[in-house]
Structure 1
């Protein structure tokens, strides 16, 4: 990718980064611990959904299994940051060198990214040769496999029991920095020749193969990068709540993150981030309404379950009237005469 194109598209991650910073500043203004945790959750969802976009948005292959890499990352945080005494009680099967390890949370996030990337490479070497619905079902099988192993490996993962003692990080800044890293890494991949090659294979697979693009290899590169981002997010998720179980990173997280990507728009990085911000804001508003709001002497509260119904309705409406998502194939950019090419688009139209 030429330097001129990089300069033209860099406004996208900068604008998205400013939006995330605005949410962080809002948390400081409100000054509430519950609201602070809500903003942390939003930043974590941004990491996960951006990780999904790197693969799904560029390859066009729907993956139901990426939360498996978040699970791998979450347990790396547990294995490397919990006090050795607690690890010996909950996970006696850990090797001695891992049992005695105690590193900072940021180091565990880096290690988790590398560990998840390694397994993405191993799984992807097989899965990326598949296409369409077969590839999607195979990624779900990968998620089920990882969940089953971690749910039964009692001496190393405590099976379905909660692993406690993970140092909790309450400050929003590490999560903001990680979200910004994920956004800029995804943008850098999107404008790279690997990202362009994968989108070409997504839109015109026959022509791409005839042009010499190795489609399984192009998919594998995106799969590994997205796996690393998900692994980093999984470690930070563990540090945000101080506890992990295999089901923490299973179907619930898989479908909410995929929903956010669909609502925002799978065709652009901006859609991935805005999908998180919009749906997370809607979820928080509905939570407040379900908890009850006092109006004078009367407490107004929505009945339980409205949150799920509203989210379902939003998804249906988006899919009916905006199938490509809120942003479609467009990215945020500075308002100038002609819209610049976005990394989510397939190329200039003639």
Structure 2
């Protein structure tokens, strides 16, 4: 075998970033992306700003779903129930007393007169959702696979039935109106950043690492002493809290709360965002929410159409739903791990040449064969 000249540079795969700088890369990059997105959206027309604000609220919901689904590997259909709980609790605590007297005349006195600040109401809504998640998750986290997924769907159905029929407390099937509208573009962006930070801290924690170990191999993790039920429950509670916050944001963005809002349509939209982006990474969760939000806005503009002379060119109604379904199908068929491929985004690093003396004989032979 002929020797390779020592001066010949040999390409090397990009080295993985090490230390805290490398571990923090996904968090820093995602936060910067959200800030840039909000800054650009501020220059857009009001209608587009509202669409992107709702997209950031959905992003909070997707990140909340990722905290449990992405780390445990168990598909959950129940997070929209936690959104509904957060929205109704915040509404009951922050609505003006006069509005509650009109829509909810049978409320207990302490709730009828309560007018909490916006932040306190949001935290209370998230805490209420987390409490329900803890109570419901304690028995359910012992299940695995499709059984656990069906159980989480049961949470959604139970919440929908209870909230839709508890007329004295929630107004039943009627809408609660008069909520303080304080959620704008930057409020939604701030909560999106908070959600991303919480999700990142959880996945980098010992509990998150052990939960992902059980996701890959339950039997091996249990044999190593991993308490799978405990770590699943921790993730489920954190997920419920973030989902509750997203429900609060949605209620105070729309100015109204209705039980129909928090059911199957929103459930499948959030699941589609997570699946399309990639459910095994925080980068995938954020990417899916952003991509679907931008794609939905483009398709909405296409459905509105443009006028050329006396002819109006517009896409048929319902195109957005059809494209979303098709995109999800294509992702499942050709890229099951989603757009992000199950990986976290990192710092770009240049390829560095390595000395041929450091290569194995087999590698040197392959490189020599490629030389002209």
Band the TM-score falls in, shorter-chain normalisation = over 0.9
Matching residue within 221, 225, 231 for 2:234: 221
Matching residue within 89, 97, 121 for 1:76: 89
Counterpart CA distance in 2 for 1:87 and 1:44 is: 25
* Residue 345 (structure 1) aligns with: none
Q: Give 1:26 shift.
A: 1.4
* Residue 312 (structure 1) aligns with: 325
* Residue 4 (structure 2) aligns with: none
In the alignment, does 2:288 pair up with 1:250? Answer: no
* Residue 343 (structure 1) aligns with: none
Q: Give 1:235 shift.
A: 0.6
Counterpart CA distance in 2 for 1:294 and 1:235 is: 39
Q: Which moved more, 1:188-197 or 1:305-314?
A: 305-314
The SS at the match of 1:213 is coil
Describe how 1:199-278 pairs up with structure 2 within 5 A: 199-278=212-291
The SS at the match of 1:328 is coil
Counterpart CA distance in 2 for 1:293 and 1:221 is: 50
Structure 1: 5+ residue stretches without partners: 339-350
* Residue 157 (structure 1) aligns with: 170
Matching residue within 312, 325, 336 for 2:349: 336
Matching residue within 106, 128, 133 for 1:115: 128
In the alignment, does 2:228 pair up with 1:197? Answer: no
* Residue 65 (structure 1) aligns with: 78
**Preserved CA contact (<8 Å) 1:53 1:269:** yes
1:87-106 superposed Cα distances (whole Å, 9 cap, x missing partner): 12212332211111112222
In the alignment, does 2:27 pair up with 1:13? Answer: yes
Q: Give 1:6 shift.
A: 4.3
In the alignment, does 2:60 pair up with 1:47? Answer: yes
**Preserved CA contact (<8 Å) 1:48 1:230:** yes
* Residue 28 (structure 1) aligns with: 42
**Preserved CA contact (<8 Å) 1:59 1:201:** yes
**Preserved CA contact (<8 Å) 1:6 1:191:** no
**Preserved CA contact (<8 Å) 1:24 1:172:** yes
**Preserved CA contact (<8 Å) 2:284 2:339:** yes
Aligned length: 334
Q: Which moved more, 1:222-231 or 1:108-117?
A: 108-117
The SS at the match of 2:307 is strand
The SS at the match of 1:76 is helix
Q: Give 1:126 shift.
A: 1.1
**Preserved CA contact (<8 Å) 1:262 1:275:** yes
1:290-330 superposed Cα distances (whole Å, 9 cap, x missing partner): 01123454321001111111111111111111011011221
Counterpart CA distance in 2 for 1:145 and 1:320 is: 33
**Preserved CA contact (<8 Å) 1:105 1:239:** no
Q: Give 1:33 shift.
A: 1.6
Cα RMSD between the aligned structures? 1.3
Structure 2: 5+ residue stretches without partners: 1-17, 352-372
In the alignment, does 2:146 pair up with 1:133? Answer: yes
Using a 3 Å threshold, how does the CA distance of structure 1 residues 95 and 208 change in structure 2: closer, same or farther? same
Matching residue within 288, 291, 309 for 2:304: 291
Counterpart CA distance in 2 for 1:161 and 1:315 is: 33
Counterpart CA distance in 1 for 2:100 and 2:144 is: 41
In the alignment, does 2:97 pair up with 1:98? Answer: no
Counterpart CA distance in 2 for 1:239 and 1:264 is: 27
Q: Give 1:8 shift.
A: 2.1
Q: Which moved more, 1:104-113 or 1:176-185?
A: 104-113
**Preserved CA contact (<8 Å) 2:134 2:233:** yes
